[in-house]
Structure 1
């Protein structure tokens, strides 16, 4: 396992709860966001290269039969709920394969590896600084 991947795996549990986490976790999340973004993009590109294609998504509107309700008032003005069958539109997300240019993906991967290596030292320093600034009580 590469050292960069190990750092990403070590940060993952801490960053998963960053929004509602401790001050230390929020500090780490704030200061390692670019590193995490580059790591995520690198994982996606490596997956594309290993599969030979990329995934993309599109929204598709579909129609399905559903139960609808309406309020009907009787002659005294009391509300009665009536159900009936109706057609409703809903949005579905479809994943589909997209062909890739392996040479372009390889260049993209190489650039991301370089960028990740450049960010690793800063991310490690930020994690150490956050841990020093916000020690967690056990």
Structure 2
């Protein structure tokens, strides 16, 4: 049995209650800061960071040149595709430590506001 993509999307959206949506929106910035804090802590522990960049590579693929013709075989050609690579880059440990301290202080400043917003979401949309 094959389920239509639109039906899957409708089911996924219906699974989230109004309270869940409100809480997720209220804590979006906190979650972003938590992700940045974890990344910065990992960079400091490793001693280097990762940088993502796009690289164009080429693949030898079969080109489409119409319907199958036994007399004239299909041709092959080079097609570009984009690949994302992670490369290690050097960091300044003191700058990373300052960045981490700034992220943590920003998170602490937003925590009270976010918790008040979550409480308001739970009041507005009881389960």
- TM-score bracket for the superposition, by shorter chain length: 0.7 to 0.9
Mapped to 2, the partners of 1:50 and 1:127 lie a distance apart of 33
Mapped to 2, the partners of 1:33 and 1:81 lie a distance apart of 53
Aligned to 1:24: 19
TM-score by structure 2 length?
Answer: 0.78
Aligned to 1:97: 88
Counterpart pick for 2:112 among 100, 115, 121? 121
Mapped to 2, the partners of 1:34 and 1:63 lie a distance apart of 39
Whether 1:58 aligns to 2:53 is yes
Quickly say closer, same or farther: Cα 1:65–1:24, change in 2 above 3 A. same
Once the 2 structures are TM-superposed, how far is the Cα of residue 84 of structure 1 from its aligned partner? Answer: 2.5
Q: Residues 1-138 of structure 1: matches in 2 within 5 Å?
A: 20=13, 21-71=16-66, 80-81=67-68, 83-136=74-127
5+ residue gaps, structure 2, are 1-11
Mapped to 2, the partners of 1:81 and 1:44 lie a distance apart of 52
Q: Which has the higher strand share?
A: 1
Once the 2 structures are TM-superposed, how far is the Cα of residue 104 of structure 1 from its aligned partner? Answer: 0.5
Mapped to 1, the partners of 2:114 and 2:40 lie a distance apart of 21
Mapped to 1, the partners of 2:50 and 2:101 lie a distance apart of 20
Once the 2 structures are TM-superposed, how far is the Cα of residue 85 of structure 1 from its aligned partner? Answer: 1.8
More relative contact order, 1 or 2 (CA 8 Å, 6+ apart): 2
Segments of 4+ in structure 1 off by > 6 A?
A: none
Please say which of residues 43-52 and 119-128 is displaced more in the overlay.
119-128
